[in-house]
Amino acid sequence: MVLTDGENVLPLASSQDHKRVYDGDQGPNTGGMGAYSPAPVVTSELHDRVVKEILAPLLRGLAKRGVRYRGALYVGLMITEEGPKVLEFNARFGDPECQAVLMRLKSDLVPLLVATIEGRLARVEIDWRPEPSVCVVLSAQGYPGAYEKGKEIRGLEKLRAWERGVVFHSGTAKKEGRYVTSGGRVLGVTALGGSFHEAVREAYRAIDGISWEGMHYRRDIAQRALDRERGGKPEG
């Protein structure tokens, strides 16, 4: 994910999502069942290659068509043995990658967006927290297929003073003073940690206090990053 003022590109921290609905990358694709940042698979060399070979040509191509795009760009990539391959472009942030990335953002987001609009990104710097972050999506039973709405969500009040994370609302509504489900992907429970292990533990600890009828979530978010952190099999 990057910000661009049409001429300059300001990359955000890298992230990796989990598209399949069940553990072990099983089941149908979803909008995303979780994400983590940074993505260890995105080395500095790979990062520079994406900017040079994908983003710069994209902006040149838009300029030739008379388009100066200013805003967020989300480039969905598959990392292959031959290098990065583009799956999709989106004129928005990725979800739930955005939740994991914003947890690590130290800079104020608003001035970054203003600089994007005003064409000043070449003079902007961005600061990140060094700690990794992990976002676990809590979904409705049946998602990404048919699912019911209106299930009362319990336990959110216990996390009001949570200092190491944020619960992002997605498919929720408020009914008679209570939060209820109103979509397939309901909440994004996102935590920081001194390591991926700590961030994962913190996120799932928070999830233990949340419940509604039929709540579903993956229990292996960031597993590849954990394997890499432990010196196990490489991520990819």
Domain boundaries, the chain: 2-229
pLDDT digits (tens, 9 = 90+) for 189-227: 999 999 999 999 999 999 999 999 999 999 999 999 998
CB neighbours of residue 194 within 10 Å: 12
pLDDT tens-digit map of 148-164: 999 999 999 999 999 99
* pLDDT single digits (tens) 90-147: 999 999 999 999 999 999 999 999 999 999 999 999 999 999 999 999 999 999 999 9
Tokens of 193: 């940690």
Mean predicted lDDT score pLDDT of the chain = 94
Residue 79 has pLDDT above 90, yes or no: no
What is the pLDDT at residue 228? 86
Please give the share of the chain, as a percent, with pLDDT higher than 90.
89
Q: Count of H helices and E strands in the chain?
A: 6, 13
Per CATH, the architecture of 2-229 is what? 2-Layer Sandwich (3.30)
Element (H, E) at 190: strand 185-192
Please, what's the b/e burial string for 157-179 (b: 16 or more CB within 10 A of its CB; e: otherwise)?
eeeeeeebbbbbebbbeeeeeeb
Give the start-end residues of each E strand in 60-143. 71-80, 83-90, 133-139
Query: In angstroms, how far apart are the furthest CA atoms of the chain?
Result: 55
